[in-house]
Each structure stands twice: as structure tokens, then as C-alpha cells.
Amino acid sequence: MKPAPFDYYAPETLEDAVALLEKLEDDDVEAKILAGGQSLMPMLSLRMARPEALVDLGKIKSLDYIREEGGNISIGAMTSKRAVEDSALIREKQPLLHAATLHIGHRQIRNQGTVGGSFAHADPAAEYGAIAQALGMEMVVVGPDGERVVVADDFYISFLTADIDSTEVLTEVRAPVMAAGTGWAFQEICRRQGDLAIAGTAVTLRLENGNCTDVVIAVFGVNAIAARLGDAEQLLNGKAPSEALFREAGRVASAELDEPISDVHASGEYRRDLVATLVRRCLLEAVERVG
Amino acid sequence: MTAPQQQVQVTVNSVSYERVIDPRTTLVDFLRHELGLTGTHVGCEHGVCGACTILKDGQAVRSCLMLAAQADGANLQTVESLRNVETGELHPIQQAFIDEHGLQCGFCTPGFLMSTLDLLAENPDPSDEQIKDALDGNLCRCTGYQSIIRSVRLAAARVRGGKVAGAHGSA
Amino acid sequence: MAITIPGSPQDMPTTAPRYVGKEVKRIEDPALVTGTAEFIDNFALPGMAHAAILRSPHPHAKILRVDTSAAEQMPGVVAVLTGADIKRWCNVGTTAPEGWGSTPMAVDKVRFVGEPVAAVAATSRYVAEDALELIEVEYESLPTVRNPQDAVAADAPLIFDNQPSNVIQDRTYTWGEVDQVFDDADHVYTEKFRWNRVGANPMETFGCICHWDVVNNSLTCYGSYQTPSFIALGRAASLNLPSNRVRVVSHPHGGSFGGKGGPRGTDIAALLSRKANGKPVKYIEDRVEYLLAGAGQSWDRYYQASLAVTADGKLTGFKVDLVDDQGAGAEGYGTISAAKPLAAFTGCYTIEAAQYHMKLVATNRAPTYAYRGYGPPPHNVVLESMVDIAARDLGMDPVDIRRRNYIQPDQFPYTIPSGNEYDSGSYAAVLDKVINMSEYQAMRQQQREAREQGRLLGIGVVNTVEPGVFDWNAYSTVGVPGVGVPEGVKVAIDILGHITVTLGFTLEGQGQYTLAAQLVADYFGVEMDSVRVTYASTDVAPPHFGHGGSRLGVALSGAIMGACKKIEEKFRLVVAGLMQCEPDHVELMDGHMRVQGMPGAEMPVAQVAGTMLGRSDLLPPGMEPSPEATYVWTADDRNEPDDQGRCKSYLTAANACHIALVEVDRDTGITQILKYFIVDDCGTRLNPANVEGQIQGSVAQGVGAVLYEEYVYSEADGQPLVSLFSDYLLPGIHEVPMTEKAFIETPSPVAPLGAKGCGEGAIHTTPATIVCAVNDAIAHLGVQTRETPISPNRLWKLLQDVVEEN
């Protein structure tokens, strides 16, 4: 269980990285970006991923930051998940992102794994997919033609595929600061604590005159990509929160899913039903958090 | 395809090493077979069991989930660093694992010790829940974890320098 | 000269034991916590090559062609091995029953996914794996025998061409007047159960370095071997070598739990070494290899059971019909797992008649191997579930029905219907203690209150017998020959009085080296630190078996007591000569040889040893100057089985009662263990900390088996779906309950020092306890679980049926 041979590059600047990716592309070399490697390394060792070249972003120190700017929390792609976990700024201003981070893998994974690596890997069971959808996050991608900003909904294309060209690098993700008075919740079902989720849900909402408004429900672990559940959101907007309403929202959410993934841990029908439960429970928790 | 040989410089347990390696070499293979530091063990090679846990720049990482090349310039710490070579004295974490029977076969133990080191550096007085959260990336097939939690508690108390009710109490 | 082994620590030559019975620190630990223990992959030989194995992707296929020419040309490759070499050099492995063995590598066809097909030795494992990719194998698929149903179908393809069918064994054993008992019963309960495959999964996989001495035609295998002498014999048979030409050196291993020893991996590395003209070859099994095809799969069972009960809750008869999916043959001795329940077939109860229908079939799943408990854990799920079914129907509390049926203390030694004799026990006392400790009635109240709020709480109360100190005769029903399992040690005192114990097994985790030091230190009145315990390879160690069958603590105690006693006898003669008295008047006490009735006439043990080695002139005429002794212990009074497999097999019968409180999440099917209590009785506790560790570790494995772990195979095509640790779910620190424990000591009247085998421990009890607790939580809804693991998905599905019915 050892990786197949590859060439290894560790550019020290973003410009060098993009130039290198472009050159490899021109030379017809299949390259893959290494950004921490907590998902890629097992695939390399199992020889399931066999890139001809690895471009390690680990030496690009300029991509390691967390800052608040223009109403957003901006996180450099090479920032570790542990840094997010330890960030007082994020805990205070974007608590949903913070809560989700605590669910990612184990401490060792969060220490070495990067934020950008996780977003770019686009694993359907990854917590950040749902957070991106729930918060309408923006991804900054830099390539030979400069920088472009992609919204979450466009960013995730399909199973393990994000909107990043082979000559591009994800450099930053941006989450809006959570508005005061927002209720939120994040819950997931795993076989063991720290495992990839079988199903998970992120919810944000507000209350206006005692009614739900701005309801956002995102689900992950169930379909090929994380997604918003519009039917359930719509059902809730403008209605007074109640156990019965949330139960109904769960049913609607469950019904609007694409055909769920089935694997050794959970059948598709089980995952579908878990979403109903998770949505209901998250809504209850989110409303409680509004206070 | 010809794999260019990769230059790597790391500091491990305060000793600096420079080697030229095949870039696909994993960090754990590098430590064990290149540097002869075999105290770090390999249990699954795909990032689940935690037996290969070491500290990189003070934080616990799985050395099977890194290339040695990624550690270039890093400061690494392995289980071999814990025992005081001058006095022969064991680290309080090691001693606590012995005193509380926190190991049986001992294969996963170096990983647990290094995770504990990371935890206690950050939180010298962890609750049982915090201990569990810090160690949930390490699997042990022998002990059922109860004595490991006791060991970490005892180690924490000793590291803090407080008085310790050392005996094998119930967990 | 017959040697009397002390039956209790009080019988040892010490006024008060300083170490035996105490929670002493383990002498194994300093090496382990510093990472300096020599696990096999920490060890290297000069010039060693590294092996990688190409494995079959097909469950069942003919091998039409293997082309290794490109691999052989690759720089760095030193040897390539294929079926052609195997045909030339190897024999089919022996099995019980006979005729279901394989060669270490497939020759003409593959029988399971992961079966070795070719292997490479190269300068590194990386290069060896590169070379594997250059080997071309052409297969012709054969129909797959996915499960026992397929195996016995009329047109089933044969997995073993030398056999008339895929049925390894199909026989019914009847003990007592079963028909009569069932006819007379007021109630007969019948249920089906399914136990899915689980297995050992030690944190260290198997590894070895094999060195074929091509000049002397002999083989040395260094590796993680649980039972080195057994492995050595097997290699001699498989590789056509005289048994004294195979030397096995067992290295400390990172856990074993039954299966560690890698006969296939060893043979392959050995033959690669032979082919590489004697270059040593290292093979380290990786986790994917382990999960797919290592010695890590066990107990794949379909049960139907019937329990005969009287109106007032007396259990009178128990019938079990087992269909066991052994996988592709019997190479891993998985068959024995089906035979072992005979040693405690009817548990703690006075059930008078029983019947066991054992049907063992071959399929295209991986062959099954030994795993901790070796078979009874699933059997106990069946037995204890049946007892609860009866209790529920009769309106009895699970505690009461158990108490009603216990073998009573004055009934021991007690012979159970399946033939084994239990040595001793205090079942009601154990039950009472755990009921008090758990505040059982308060938990019942908590359960009622929770249920009113719509929450599903359940309590499991389960007691089991752990057969300890195995004997080969226990497995006669599947064709294992022999009676007795020798375990030998050598104890030697040097000229300065330092003591060394030499034995034939190595570190595995249970702390037996510490036990050896405890015993010797107390016997000769020396500090434990001064006793050295050292390993000897198979060629020089006394006869030994090593770890297995909850026996080593007891067997080692017997061997050490025997060896110490033999030295004591020699010393008696020496001192009698020096002091001019009768040998009978000399005794050993607290480290001194004393002459009775002559105060002050005594010699320290060290001085006697020094005299023997340094002053031959002072020894009795003709006496051998040898302050050392070897003693080989085996259990007394074991006998040959009768035609129904009945015999006195396992020497000791430890027992335990567990109580668990669980909560089932009705929406998600997740089972959470809220509380867990254990009282056990394994006789004399030689090192209580070790015993506690065995119990808690075994709880963890039991929780794994009942809630998390499963080797899943595709129902559609028989392909294994689990090959990673992210899919085979070992319980982590959050998943294992922190248990509250207490104990009772009912010493064994027949075992050395009164200790009972306890190494396999709680895995006998925990799965059944959780199954019973979950059913206690949900039975009122009209559903019960009969399949393990009780994964959230499975339990959700069961509860779904209820929801839909409502």
C-alpha cells in the first residue's frame, strides 16, 4: 500500500504555482494539487489516485490567514482546520462554520488538513460542502487569467468535482459574518464520532413577528454534492415554528432529495429518512438559538 | 516517468537531518526506515487508526497521511523524544500510562502518547470529554480505553505538578 | 517424581506473597512506552528484500495464464513467485476436518478475493508494488458461491474439486433425552438468528522475515506469531521440510486476538527467499490485505434455536441448528469455532438435555480464522436471547429466570450435557453483586419513566461461562486429534543468584511476562525486578503452545510452579547434604532453605545456587550441578471424547454477569450505551490490573461486534465490500462504555493457584448483553432484533415496520 511514482513540486508563491500548473498542462502532465493531503494521501497510497505530478501548496505561506473584511470572514486556502477551530473570530462571528469544523475528522486531521483542500476536494460527505451552501460562501480561484470568484452553488459540480480548472488554484473561501438574530444548527449522523457523515444538515433562520424567515437548509452526505433544500425552506418561511411544522418540513426535505447514496453503512432509504429527522432537529435547535 | 530525487531537511527530536529521497516516500516510512526511528508505528496507512501520530510543529498529525517532502523544514517530534536520555527518566505521560495500565500490546501506544502530549500542551487540565475528543483519532484494540483515560488524567495531574491520587481508581 | 503444583497462592513457599495477587506494574511496559519493543517491522536483516503480493480480484475463477516476464525485468526485483513454484515446492495445508486446505498461493484457480496469485521480492516495498502492476493474469470467471444457500444448491459449483460438495461437515450431536424433554415442556420457543462476520483486527497486521538457508536447506521465520511451534510444524508440512529444519522466532506483536501468524504470508516470503538464493525476505501485510484476506474474519453464522421451558420457568432443553459459512475452506481453523461451544453449551444453567446440529459449508468468502472467544460469543447471543424470550412470554424478570436455573455452588464439579465439567462457580452471588452495584430496580424505574416520555430505554442482564484452558479434545467434533496442550518453561538461577525464566511465547499484550516474574519472585523470595523473563525460539524452547484458549495465565502458572518446585527439590538435597540432615527436614520459605527444628540453620537460595555451580565438592555424590529446571505443564485428568464429542475439555469455568442500560433512538436507530456494569469471577486474580484490562478490552471488542463491525459482502456478486478501516469500524474512545466493575473470587479447585482462564473475557458476554438490552427497549413495540451488528440502519428498518403499522 504505497503510492505509485510521481514528480513532486513545492512552489513557494501562488504565481509560481499557477505558472507550474500551466506548464504541466502544456506538457500534458496530469497534475494534482496537494493541499494538506488528508483526503488525497490515502488515495495515493491505495493507488486509486495516480497523478504524474503533485503540486504541493504547503510552502505558500501567503495562503494561511483568517481575517474579517467587508462583512466577510476570509480564510486562506492553506489555513488548517485546527486554526479555524481555534479562531475566536470565527467562533464569534461565524459560529456555524466553527461548529461544522469541530465535526471534521479527528484532531490530527484538522491539524494537517486545510480549509482549501476540503472545499476543493468536494467530498459529498464533507461538512464544508453544506456550510458553503448554507452560507452562500464565495470561493476565490486564481488561474493564468487572474482571479475569479465563484459562489457555492456554482462551485460544486458533481461527486468529487469542483469548479477549479487544472491550471487554477483555490486561494480563499469567504463566509459572511453571521447576522445578529440568526438561529443556526449543525447536526450529523456518523457511525462513530469523527467518521464521515452518513447524513448531515446545516440550518440558519431568523424569526420575524414570531414567524420563520430567511430559512436555509443544506444537506450533505446524502447526494453526490451538498445541496440546499428549497421546498422545505419555502414551506417554513412565514410560518410560526412548531414541532408539527418542523416535522412536516423534515418530510418535505426528505422527499425533495435526489436518489440518495447507498453504501455499507446506510441504504439510500435510510439516508432519506435521516434527513427528515435531522432537518426537524436542526430547526428546533436553530429556533431555540434565536432565543 | 522519472521521479526526480527530492531533497528534504527536517528536524526530528531536535536533530537536523538532510536526505535525498524518492518523493513518494510517506513521512512515516521516512522516519522509520530512513531515519531508523521505529517507535512510530504503522497500523492502517490510510489515516484512520492513529498509530503513526507524531507532532509536527507542536501539533499532532498522522505521519502516514503526509509525504516526507511535505515535512521539509518542519520540526517533528516522535515518541523517541519523550524519555530523558541524560537521566533515563520517562516522561510523565509515559510513566502515567505504565502506572495506570494504559496499554496492553503497546503497538498503538506511541500514537496515544503523542496525541496526549498535544492535548496537555494546550489544556493541562482536561475533562474526560476533552480527553476523549483529543484521542478519538487513535484506535486501541486491547484496552477498551478506560485505563487510557485514567492514564491521561494522571499524566495531566503530574504535568501540572499537583498532588495526585495515583492509585488505580475507578474511571 | 510427581510434582505437586500449589493450588492457591497460600501454598507457595512464602509467608505472604508480595507480588502474586497484586496490581504490579508490568515489566513489559518500559519498552512499549518508549517505542523500543522489537515489533517485526522494526527489525531488519542485512540484504533483506521486501515482498508484495498480487491478489485475486475474483471470488471464484480459473487462472488461465500468469505472465511475470515484465516484472522480472524490472530493476530492483530480486524474485518473483507464482503458482508454478508452489506446485513444485509446496503441499496443501492440513485442516480439520481433512481435505479443505489450500496451498499458500493459488495454483489453478482462486477461491476468494484477496487470495495470493503471485508475489515479488524487491529492494523496497514501493518497488515491489510497482512490479506487481507489471504482472498479467488471465482469469476465467466461475460462478460464485456467495453464501450457504448457494453452497448447498443442487447445481452449486464445487469450490474444492477434491470434495463431492461444498459441505465441510453436517452432523447432529445429541446429549440426553432431548426429544422427551421437548415433548414434556410446557413451552417451546424457536427463533432464528444471524451473526455477521467480524474479526480480530489487532492494530499491528501480520509481518515476517523469512530466511531460507539454501546451503543447509533449513528455514528461519521471524515474525508476529501467536503460536510459534504450531506455525513451525505447519511450515514444515507445507514447505516439505523436516520439522527440526524450521525455526520460528516470534517477535513482540501488536495484539493478536486469535489469528496472528500468517501461514500464507510466511510460506510466500519463505519461498521468495528460497528463490532469491537465500536472501532474507520481509513481508508486512498491509491493512487492506488484512481486511480482505488476512486472518481477520470469523463467525459467519445462521442459527435456529429452540428452548424447552416449564410453566414455572425451568429451562429443560436447548437445541441449536447452526449453519456456519466457513469461507473458502478450513485453512484458518474456523471450524474449531463451531466446535468450541460444546465446552459451555448450556451456559450457567442446569439445562438437562441439548442438541447441536453443526453444518459447516464452504463459500467463496475469505476463509475464517480464530478470534477471541473462538465461537461461543455468537452462541451466547442465541442462548441468552432465548432465555429472555422465555422470560418475556412467561412474564418473568430476566433476573429471576436466570436465578431460577443456575447451577448451584454445591453441584460442582458439574458435568453439562455436552460433556465438559465445570470446576466451580457462584453464579447467584455474582448476579446479586451486579444487581446491587447497578441499582437494578432503580434502573427499571428509570426505564418506565423514560418510556412514558416516549424514549426507548432497555436493560440487558446476561451471564455466561468462559471456558478456560483449552484442550485439543474440545474440538474432536470437527476432527482435531489429541489430548493435552503442553506449555513448558525453564527457570534457571545463576551463580550470583539471579533468576531467568525462559519460555516459548512472546509479548502480545496480556502481561504474561509480568506474571512469570511475579510467580518466580514470590516463590524464591526475591525482588520482581531481579527476575528476567526471556524468549526462546521454537528450536530451543521447551515444548509450548503459547497464547490461546484462555489458557496461558493458568498454564504458565502451572509450568513455573512446577519448574520452581523441581529446583526446590534439588536444593533440598544440596542443603540436606551441607547441613547433614534428612532432605525431608529442609524446606523453602521466604527465599531461604531452612532446616526444620534448627533455628538459624538456613541458606539463601542464591547461596545454594552458587554452591551448586561453584563448589561441586560440597554436593551430594553424583548430583548434577544444575540450579535450573524445565517443567512442562498440561491440565490433569483430560479424557478422550465419546462418539457424541463429550469429554472433559476446558479445565476451568470462569463466569460473569453484565448489566447494560441502553437507549435506542427511535428516529435514527442509533443505540447508545448509557451504563454498563460487570461482576466477574475468574477464581484467583493473579494480577488484578491485568484481569481488569482483559475485561475492559474485551468489552470493547464485544461492543464492536454487536454494534459496529461487519465484513460486508455484496449480495449480488459475492464481492467483499469492506477493505478499509473507514468501513470496518473498530470502536473508538467515544464508542466504548466506561464500565463499573467488581468481582468475586471462587478459586478453581483444579487449576494452578486456583486461577481460571480469563483472557477472552467479556466478548463472551457483551454482545448478548447489548442484544438483550436493545430488545428490552423495543420488544413492547412488537419487534426484536435477531441480527448483529445492530447497526443503526438495521435497527431503524425494524422500527420503521412499527411506525408503518401504526
Cis check: omega of the bond before C413, within 30 degrees of 0: yes
Q: Which residue of chain C has the CA closest to B78?
A: C35
Does the CB of B129 have a partner CB in chain A at under 8 Å?
A: no
Rounded distance between C-alpha atoms, residue C256 and residue A125, angstroms: 33
Confidence of residue B168 (pLDDT cuts 50, 70, 90): very low
Whether C9-37+485-633 and C301-475+640-805 share one fold: the answer is yes
Does the CB of B9 have a partner CB in chain A at under 8 Å?
A: no
Cis check: omega of the bond before C97, within 30 degrees of 0: yes
Q: How many CA atoms lie within 13 A of B31 on its CB side?
A: 33
Residue A224 domain flag: yes
CA distance C712 to chain A (A): 7
Beta bridge partners of C116: C55
Does the CB of A18 have a partner CB in chain B at under 8 Å?
A: no
pLDDT at B164: 43
Q: Are residues A120 and A217 in the same domain?
A: no
pLDDT at C801: 82
Rounded distance between C-alpha atoms, residue C674 and residue C695, angstroms: 18
Q: Which CATH number belongs to the domain containing residue A201 in this structure?
A: 3.30.390.50
Does the CB of B28 have a partner CB in chain C at under 8 Å?
A: no
| Chains contacting B (3+ CB pairs below 8 angstroms) | A, C
Confidence of residue B4 (pLDDT cuts 50, 70, 90): low
pLDDT at C577: 96
CB contact under 8 A, A265 and C732: no
pTM of the complete model: 0.97
Contact C722/A259 with Cβ under 8 angstroms? no
CB contact under 8 A, C255 and B46: no
**Cβ contacts of C792 on chain A, cutoff 8 Å:** 189, 191, 198, 266, 270
Residue among C793, C795, C801 with most chain A CBs within 10 A, to mutate: C793
Residue A1 domain flag: no
Rounded distance between C-alpha atoms, residue C356 and residue C305, angstroms: 9
Residue among B55, B77, B112, B141 with most chain C CBs within 10 A, to mutate: B141
Rounded distance between C-alpha atoms, residue A141 and residue C495, angstroms: 77
Rounded distance between C-alpha atoms, residue C726 and residue A222, angstroms: 17
C435's grid cell: 444487581
The phi and psi torsions of C140 (rounded to 5 degrees) equal: -120, 115
Q: Does domain C9-37+485-633 have CATH number 3.30.365.10?
A: yes
CB contact under 8 A, B67 and A56: yes
How distant, in Å, are the alpha carbons of A67, A75, A194, A235, C158 from that of A81?
14, 10, 14, 35, 54
CB contact under 8 A, B106 and C254: yes
Does the CB of B43 have a partner CB in chain C at under 8 Å?
A: yes
Rounded distance between C-alpha atoms, residue A54 and residue B3, angstroms: 11
Nearest residue, CB atoms, A108 vs list B6, B29, B137: B137
Nearest residue, CB atoms, C733 vs list B38, B94, B145: B145
Burial class (CB in 10 A: 0-12, 13-18, 19+), C717: exposed
| Total tally of structural domains belonging to chain A | 3
**Helix (H), strand (E) counts: chain B:** 5, 5
- For chain C, the residue count is 806
Radius of gyration of chain C (CA): 28
Phi-psi region of C9 (alpha: psi -120 to 50; beta: other; left: phi over 0): alpha
Other beta carbons within 10 angstroms of residue C51's beta carbon come to 28
**Cβ contacts of C35 on chain B, cutoff 8 Å:** 38-41, 78-80, 109-110
Topology at the third CATH level for domain B6-81? Ubiquitin-like (UB roll) (3.10.20)
**Cβ contacts of A270 on chain C, cutoff 8 Å:** 669, 792-793, 796-797
Residue A146 domain flag: yes
The phi and psi torsions of C233 (rounded to 5 degrees) equal: -60, -45
Cis check: omega of the bond before C767, within 30 degrees of 0: no
CB contact under 8 A, B136 and A6: no
CB contact under 8 A, C797 and A270: yes
CATH class of C301-475+640-805: alpha beta
Burial class (CB in 10 A: 0-12, 13-18, 19+), C391: buried
Residue A97 domain flag: yes
C196's grid cell: 455477521
Tell me the three-class secondary structure of C232-271, residue by residue.
Answer: HHHHHHHHCCCHHHEEEEECCCCCCCCCCCCHHHHHHHHH
Q: Does domain B92-160 have CATH number 1.20.1260.10?
A: no
Between helix C605-614 and helix C552-579 the angle, nearest 10°, is 70
CATH class of C40-142+206-284: alpha beta
Nearest residue, CB atoms, C793 vs list A47, A196, A270: A270
Summarize pLDDT for A44-79 with one digit per residue, the tens: 999 999 999 999 999 999 999 999 999 999 999 999
Residue A68 DSSP SS3 = strand
Q: Are residues A157 and A50 in the same domain?
A: no
Could you tell me whether strands C167-175 and C136-141 are parallel, antiparallel, or unpaired per DSSP bridges? unpaired
Residue A2 domain flag: no
The phi and psi torsions of A24 (rounded to 5 degrees) equal: -60, -40
pLDDT at C804: 64
Confidence of residue B166 (pLDDT cuts 50, 70, 90): very low
pLDDT at C806: 54
Residues in Cβ contact with C602 at an 8 Å cutoff, skipping those fewer than 6 apart: C592, C593, C594, C595
CB contact under 8 A, A273 and C791: no
Average confidence (pLDDT) over B2-7: 70
H/E stretch holding C641 reads none
Query: Which residue segment(s) compose the domain that A162 sits in?
Result: 61-176
Rounded distance between C-alpha atoms, residue A35 and residue A120, angstroms: 9
Chain A, chain C: beta-carbon pairs less than 8 Å apart:
59
Residues in Cβ contact with A122 at an 8 Å cutoff, skipping those fewer than 6 apart: A129, A156, A157, A159, A160, A161, A162, A225
Q: Are residues A104 and A195 in the same domain?
A: no
Residues of chain B with CATH 1.10.150.120: 92-160
Does the CB of A209 have a partner CB in chain C at under 8 Å?
A: no
Residue segments in chain C with a per-residue pLDDT below the cut of 70 = 1, 804-806
**Domain boundaries along the sequence of chain C:** 9-37+485-633, 40-142+206-284, 301-475+640-805
Residue B1 has pLDDT above 90, yes or no: no
Contact B63/B49 with Cβ under 8 angstroms? no
Q: How many CA atoms lie within 13 A of B55 on its CB side?
A: 24
Residue A165 domain flag: yes
Q: Which residue of chain B has the CA closest to C508?
A: B105
pLDDT at C1: 61
Q: Are residues A161 and A192 in the same domain?
A: no
Closest CA to C203 of B64, B58, B101: B64
**Of A144, A176, A208, the domain-final residue:** A176
Does the CB of A264 have a partner CB in chain C at under 8 Å?
A: yes
Residue among A107, A112, A121, A191 with most chain B CBs within 10 A, to mutate: A107
Rounded distance between C-alpha atoms, residue A91 and residue C585, angstroms: 80
CB contact under 8 A, C739 and B146: yes
Residues of chain B with CATH 3.10.20.30: 6-81
Burial class (CB in 10 A: 0-12, 13-18, 19+), C758: buried
Residue B165 has pLDDT above 60, yes or no: no
Nearest residue, CB atoms, A266 vs list C125, C735, C793: C793
Contact C567/C629 with Cβ under 8 angstroms? yes
